[in-house]
């Protein structure tokens, strides 16, 4: 029987609270479909650790993205991290190696982390979708809806205090909003008792280096909040 500490109940409650927060803010436009919400509790189980979770879902065929993948990109990093970085989906290098952020954008992310005194092993890195979209196109809404329960389960299991969304798509999907990145970055969003920061995706910084100063402001703010959190805990 499910109880208040059951992982399925906890995941459903996480989603319910996020939608309630949007309603209280006057935002009634919901991006996640009712059908997706209704099936979410059926798509997660209880796992002893992230490795067992990955082994259970790494052959997922629930959306068309599985047809073109080389490897399922679950996520990587500290399973007890206080910060999760979330991108939109794997690229070519990630698809080949089965690891998130290992291409040019990943190397830049490593530099960003190092600039605020983090190593990759200290944080956790994941994506909204776990399989590479064809030709690195943006994930479709249906693909993100199908894969979102996996990310929510990762967040539940890791239990971070902070989440940093890398790019507009990841931010809009997680926060369930259509606001542009420019209006989402620059501060923290309260989401299911966690603090969410939004900044530019490293791939965007490679194309538009003029956004690097904004990203530097964001990650410095993240580091400051993290230090304050650790100092008070």
2 domain-assigned: no
3-state secondary structure of 186: coil
Q: Tell me the C-alpha distance between 201 and 209, whole Å.
A: 11
Angle, helices 141-158 vs 7-24, to 10°: value is 120
Mean pLDDT of 61-89: 98
Q: What is the DSSP secondary-structure string of 23-68?
A: HHTT-----S-HHHHHHGGGG----SSHHHHHHHHTT--SSGGGGG
- What is the reported pLDDT for 82? 98
Q: Is residue 141 part of a domain?
A: yes
Structural domain contains residue 1: no
In a domain, 135, yes or no: yes
Owning domain of residue 136: 7-232
Name the domain count of the chain.
1
Task: Assess if residue 161 is contained within a domain.
Answer: yes
CA dist., res. 90 & res. 98, Å (int):
9
Does some domain include residue 148? yes
**Cβ count within 10 A of residue 68:** 12
Predicted local distance difference test score (pLDDT) of residue 13: 54
**What Cα–Cα distance (Å) separates residue 228 from each residue in 75, 79, 144, 153, 160?**
27, 21, 33, 27, 15
DSSP alpha helix (H) spans, the chain: 7-24, 34-39, 50-57, 92-97, 104-115, 141-158, 168-175, 181-184, 202-207, 212-232
CATH of the domain at 162: 3.40.470.10
The verdict on residue 125 lying in a domain is yes
Residue 46: per-residue pLDDT: 87
- Torsions phi, psi for 111 (to 5 deg): -65, -40
> Which has the closest alpha carbon to 94: 105, 103, 85, 107?
103
pLDDT tens per residue across span 3-43 = 443 444 444 555 555 555 544 545 444 444 444 444 444 45
Let me know if residue 212 belongs to a domain: yes
Bridge partners of 194, per DSSP, are: 191
Task: Dump pLDDT digits (tens) for 182-208.
Answer: 999 999 999 999 999 999 999 999 999
Question: Which range has the top average pLDDT, 32-36, 55-59, 229-233?
Answer: 55-59
pLDDT per residue over 80-119, tens digit each?
999 999 999 999 999 999 999 999 999 999 999 999 999 9
């Amino acid at each position: 029987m499910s109880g208040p500490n059951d992982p399925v109940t906890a995941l459903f409650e996480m989603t319910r609270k996020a939608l309630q927060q949007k309603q209280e803010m006057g935002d009634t436009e919901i991006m996640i479909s009712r059908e997706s919400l209704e099936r979410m509790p059926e798509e997660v189980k209880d796992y002893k650790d992230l490795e067992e979770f990955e082994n259970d879902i790494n052959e997922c065929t629930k959306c068309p993205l599985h047809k073109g993948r080389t490897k399922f990109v679950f996520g990587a990093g500290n399973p007890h991290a206080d910060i999760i970085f979330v991108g939109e989906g794997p690229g070519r290098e990630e698809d080949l190696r089965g690891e998130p952020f290992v291409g040019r954008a990943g190397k830049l992310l490593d530099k960003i982390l190092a600039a605020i005194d983090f190593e990759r092993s200290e944080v956790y890195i994941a994506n909204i979708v776990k399989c590479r979209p064809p030709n690195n196109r943006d994930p479709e809404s249906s693909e993100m809806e199908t894969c979102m329960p996996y990310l929510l389960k990762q967040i539940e299991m890791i239990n971070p205090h902070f989440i940093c969304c890398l790019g507009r798509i990841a931010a809009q999907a997680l926060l369930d909003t259509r606001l542009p990145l420019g209006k989402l970055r620059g501060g923290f969003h309260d989401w299911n008792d966690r603090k969410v920061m939004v900044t530019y995706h490293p791939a965007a910084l490679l194309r538009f280096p003029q956004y690097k100063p904004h990203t530097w402001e964001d990650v410095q703010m993240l580091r400051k909040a993290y230090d304050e959190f650790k100092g008070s805990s």
